[in-house]
Amino acid sequence: MPVTSARLRRWGKWLAPLALTVAMLGAQTSAGSSAAAVGSLPCDLYASGGTPCVAAHSTTRALFSSYNGRLYQVKRASDGATRDIGVLSAGGYADAAAQDSFCAGTSCLITVIYDQSGRGNHLTQAPPGGFSGPAAGGYDNLAEASAAPVTVGGHKAYGVFIAPGTGYRNNSTSGIATGDQPEGMYAILDGSHYNGGCCFDYGNAETNSRDNGNGTMEAIYFGNIKVWGYGTGNGPWVMADLENGLFSGVNAGYNANDPSVSHRFLTAVVKGEPNHWAIRGGNAQSGGLSTFYNGTRPNVSGYNPMRKEGAIILGIGGDNSNGSAGTFYEGVMTSGYPSDATENAVQSNINSVGYTASSTAGGLTAGSRVSLRATTSCCTTEYLKHNSADAYAAISTVSSSSSSADKLAATWTVRAGLGDASCVSFESADKPGQYLRHYDFRLRIDSNDGSALFKQDATFCPQASHNGQGISLRSANYPSDFVRHYNNDAYIASHGGSHTWDAATLWADDTSWAVASPWA
């Protein structure tokens, strides 16, 4: 019997769900392998559901089962060289060993996050817009490449650690929804890394990096800011940044159905079509997605119809507001409004790959006391301490025969980072209320004045050391600068930069610190 077009249309009603079911079964068999089952990865699933990926970004794995290309690019501080980091095999996981080898003994920044869709929607350093960034020319900072280690599919990988002032963007895209066109997006985020700054977003934004009015954005937001919208509890919340409003539901401000979320690995979903949109979320390690909102556009003028412009942002707001913090592992944007069934299949695949947190370098625990010992061969009896004659920090020999004052000056109380709670701050043991901070690149202790600048200057992010001993401490607001001793004084220093204390000689040793028992 010939197959008529009418029969094909009737069959289509159950063929698409069947395809998704088969794909989900394939996804469940792929955990831990270096390559995924054919048709089982997120963008394969979106295509099966009739809403193909038009942007696909990840520093941890391929998002198409056939993808065998570049995930991201890193730039080495020591010589400015770049290297593309790809996958171990088609449909597989990031080749983190290539990054580790390339960046050994120095630091690297993530310069490009490649689009796997083939449309060239790559993310690069965000330019200035309504707000300027802290880097040269008003650009935003780039993320330090080793700041967010993770295990996925049993393989080491790295996420994108967004500190305030860091951001990525593409203002000239292909295939991204504009106007009131339908689209969907998801992102896998670190649910424990957030703040109340504006705005940690991933998604659709203005093409001129400025606030062009209500409805000119549609992006996933994650954090605990309450200025425009919020849900139950104290946050953080998954919301939609639609420009001039972070929406947790149909109302501006509070919506009871948007819960605080606490998953270490979070799946966040936003999707929209004419006068209809939704927020969904769930645990990226296990379980399904919950729907936090599904209904009409906000009951505020300017959001129906939408006026989306089609740029892509990561870690910032549409006008380049860059006070946010968060960590991104993977995310996509689609053409068309994905069904819940498609997103559920994607969530099943995400569960299957086994995102797992890596242990924090150095094991620094908030509330504990530590001393920090230099590891350079010249100076292994010297510790980071503040001077008695002035406020500056330096290294100096401390031993059991040292005075009580010197022992106290070389002892620090670890606090949750004042500017980023996923990092640390060091409070002086003998001068409570005074913290180690950088000022004109030199380290010193100062009283906390409560300003945003002080909090960032006094925040340091521990990571694997540059010489294999102890830890290295990255400045939270200067991602390429690390705590270093140089001619006995202490600075934040880049590798081979323009200052004398950036000298390449012994940089890896001078920026590596052994976490020792406190002297006092």
- Residues taking part in catalysis: 243, 319
CA distance 294 to 262: 21
DSSP class of 215: T
Return phi, psi of residue 378, to 5°: -70, -20
Structure tokens at 430: 């003998």
The answer to whether 395 touches 409, Cβ cutoff 8 Å, is: no
CA distance 51 to 337: 7
Q: What is the DSSP string of 353-385?
A: H--EEPPPGGG--TT-EEEEEE-STT-TTEEEE
The answer to whether 347 touches 394, Cβ cutoff 8 Å, is: no
Q: How many angstroms separate the Cα of 112 from the Cα of each of 39, 59, 102, 164? A: 27, 10, 16, 18
CA distance 253 to 262: 21
CA distance 486 to 502: 9
CA distance 350 to 513: 37
The two beta strands, 382-386 and 393-397, are: antiparallel
The answer to whether 153 touches 232, Cβ cutoff 8 Å, is: no
CA distance 76 to 489: 25
CA distance 160 to 142: 9
CA distance 506 to 106: 10
CA distance 40 to 38: 6
Other beta carbons less than 10 A from residue 46's beta carbon: 29
CA distance 81 to 404: 47
Q: Token match 């504009």: residue?
A: 178
List 514's β-bridge partners, or say none.
373
